[in-house]
């Protein structure tokens, strides 16, 4: 499923609070000046994380891909279920970046570069990195930094959080900015300490083993990174924020030996997700086609469906719809409920403008799996293309009842209202979408526009929108305090 790029908006330098609830929730600014902070309460940590996520949405190449998101969330939550000291739900997301990297920050947000899965040798290696990042959150390593920084006059807490955000998302840029104008004290705040890394390695491996993955994969992954350091002047992005002294690889290897060695095959979904990332985000369209055609000729694997899937994506992205359709139809016959295949099939039919065929398949799957994000959003997107706006609106409203903060669903709903010329609903929906990017003043402007299209006699809707207008303006005032 492919969508328009997310709305480009500008977030204030840094806001330190945003409720995770829906638009009826209150907005409160945590008190995080340079005054003493004995403990960072969980609710404040979550609030900081939400606003950092706003900044990422507005300035980073987030991957709006329901199929990959579904896979990453399933893998991540499987690990979270086996982790210790989990205090809140985790949220996993992808960034379109070829570097091997992953990062975690306040409130259980874990970002993963597409390059990490593309270059992982197996699912256990990918899971080992996620387990490590989950441990950084559960052990509250970033929260501890605020505690450590409270008496550091050279480093404000707000500035530290801004730096952490810059560094975990773009380590090269973050470190360059730091080197230009900061102290060594600031640098120490932006990379995990050796002690924190050791702790994350230990708890991460426990989580990995409990979740059923190979604990030896953690040392395999670090060995892979260490070998890259030896042959390159610039270390992998992961190592800029996760130091790798010589002792760390051996420590992780010795720790893994506490567990029995076992063979853990990668799941089918891992292979499909990896090849989707390769075909769509790691290679150019033409290079991807050549890569998969060559791999299919030379591979000795018995099951080559994941390579065929990658080839189908490369053909689809080049608008070679008929060639892609032959491959995906073959795959769907073997696995008719596979979400990866259903998604590509839908895109092929949309490219061919054969909306009825896509609707026919998706409606059947929707009956079996209502509100699954891959099926529901594909079905809504197809309905929009087929100009069935009422159907799309109904699907998306029901979906958002369960997932009220799903940005992609809100984008589709906003598009639905725009195309159906429901101007009041369009501006209100756009306001809600903008609030997810921290653009509260722009959101207030959209609510004001929505009021202009409300019938004079509809007092209830007017009162509701006026309350929403007051709310967004209040949010902006809170941000201005910074």
Closest listed residue to residue 191, CA positions, set 179, 204, 180: 179
Closest listed residue to residue 222, CA positions, set 206, 202, 246: 246
For residue 169, the surrounding DSSP H or E stretch is helix 157-169
Asked if 413 and 425 touch (Cβ cutoff 8 Å), the reply is: no
Beta bridge partners of residue 95, listed in sequence order: 62, 113
Residue 249 CB-half CA count within 13 A = 13
Annotated binding-site ranges? 132, 136, 197
Q: Is 93 helix (H, G, I), strand (E, B) or coil?
A: strand
Annotated binding-site ranges for Zn(2+)? 132, 136, 197
**Is 201 designated active site?**
yes
φ and ψ at residue 104, rounded to 5 degrees? -130, 150
Strands (E), 350-391: none
**Is 459 designated active site?**
no
Q: Which one of the listed residues 133, 220, 308, 428 is annotated catalytic?
A: 133
The one-character DSSP state at 267 is P
Cα–Cα distance for residue pair 379/384, rounded to 1 Å: 9
Cα–Cα distance for residue pair 224/264, rounded to 1 Å: 19
Closest listed residue to residue 94, CA positions, set 114, 119, 122: 114
**Helices 123-138 and 66-80, interaxial angle, to 10°?**
60
Closest listed residue to residue 2, CA positions, set 406, 397, 385, 396: 385
Cα–Cα distance for residue pair 95/348, rounded to 1 Å: 25
Asked if 387 and 419 touch (Cβ cutoff 8 Å), the reply is: yes
Q: What Rg, from alpha-carbon coordinates, does the chain have?
A: 24
Q: What share of the chain is helix, strand, coil (3-state, %, to 5)?
A: 65, 5, 30
Burial bucket for residue 260 (CB in 10 Å: 0-12, 13-18, 19+): exposed
Residue 215 burial (CB count, 10 A)? 26
Residue 453 burial (CB count, 10 A)? 13
The one-character DSSP state at 111 is E
Determine the longest span between alpha carbons in the chain, in angstroms.
Answer: 73
Residue 335 burial (CB count, 10 A)? 14
Q: Which one of the listed residues 201, 220, 308, 393 is annotated catalytic?
A: 201
Asked if 381 and 412 touch (Cβ cutoff 8 Å), the reply is: yes
Residues classed as catalytic? 133, 201
């Amino acid at each position: 499923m492919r969508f328009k790029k997310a709305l480009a908006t500008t977030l204030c330098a840094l806001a330190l609070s945003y409720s995770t609830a829906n638009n009826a929730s209150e907005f409160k600014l945590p008190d995080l000046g340079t005054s003493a902070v004995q403990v960072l309460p969980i609710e404040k940590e979550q609030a900081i994380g939400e606003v950092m996520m706003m900044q990422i949405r507005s300035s980073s190449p987030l991957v709006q891909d329901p199929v990959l998101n579904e896979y990453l969330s399933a893998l991540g939550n499987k690990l979270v279920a086996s982790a210790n000291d989990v205090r809140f739900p985790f949220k996993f997301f992808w960034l379109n970046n070829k570097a091997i990297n992953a990062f975690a920050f306040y409130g259980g947000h874990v970002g993963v570069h597409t390059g990490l899965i593309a270059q992982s040798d197996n699912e256990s290696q990918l899971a080992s990195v996620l387990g490590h990042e989950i441990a950084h959150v559960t052990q509250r390593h970033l929260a501890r930094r605020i505690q450590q920084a409270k008496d550091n006059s050279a480093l404000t807490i707000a500035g530290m959080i801004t730096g952490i955000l810059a560094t975990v998302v773009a380590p090269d840029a973050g470190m360059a900015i730091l080197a230009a104008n900061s102290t060594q004290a600031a640098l120490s705040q932006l990379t995990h300490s050796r002690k924190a890394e050791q702790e994350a390695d230990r708890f991460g491996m426990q989580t990995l083993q409990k979740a059923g993955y190979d604990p030896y994969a953690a040392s395999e992954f670090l060995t892979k990174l260490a070998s890259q350091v030896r042959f390159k002047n610039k270390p992998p992005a992961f190592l800029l924020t996760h130091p790798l002294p010589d002792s760390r690889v051996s420590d992780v290897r010795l720790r893994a030996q506490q567990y029995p060695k076992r063979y853990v095959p990668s799941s089918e979904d891992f292979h499909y997700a990896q090849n989707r990332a390769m075909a769509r985000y790691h290679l150019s369209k033409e290079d991807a086609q050549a890569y998969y055609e060559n791999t299919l000729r030379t591979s000795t694997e018995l099951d080559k469906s994941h390579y065929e899937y990658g080839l189908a994506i490369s053909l689809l992205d080049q608008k070679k719809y008929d060639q892609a359709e032959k491959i995906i139809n073959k795959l769907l016959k073997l696995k008719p409920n596979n979400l990866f295949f259903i998604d590509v099939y839908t895109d092929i039919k949309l490219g061919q403008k054969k909306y009825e065929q896509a609707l026919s398949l998706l409606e059947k799957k929707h009956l079996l799996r209502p509100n699954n994000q891959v099926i529901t959003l594909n079905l809504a997107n197809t309905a929009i293309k087929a100009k069935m706006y009422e159907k799309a609106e109904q699907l998306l409203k029901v979906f958002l009842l369960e997932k009220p903060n799903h940005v992609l669903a809100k984008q589709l709903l906003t598009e639905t209202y725009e195309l159906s010329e429901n101007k009041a609903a369009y501006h209100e929906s756009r306001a809600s979408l903008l609030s997810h990017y921290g653009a509260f003043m722009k959101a207030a402007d959209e609510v004001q526009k929505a009021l202009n299209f409300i019938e004079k006699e509809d007092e209830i809707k007017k009162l509701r929108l006026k309350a929403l207008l007051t709310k967004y303006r209040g949010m902006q005032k809170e941000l201005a305090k910074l």
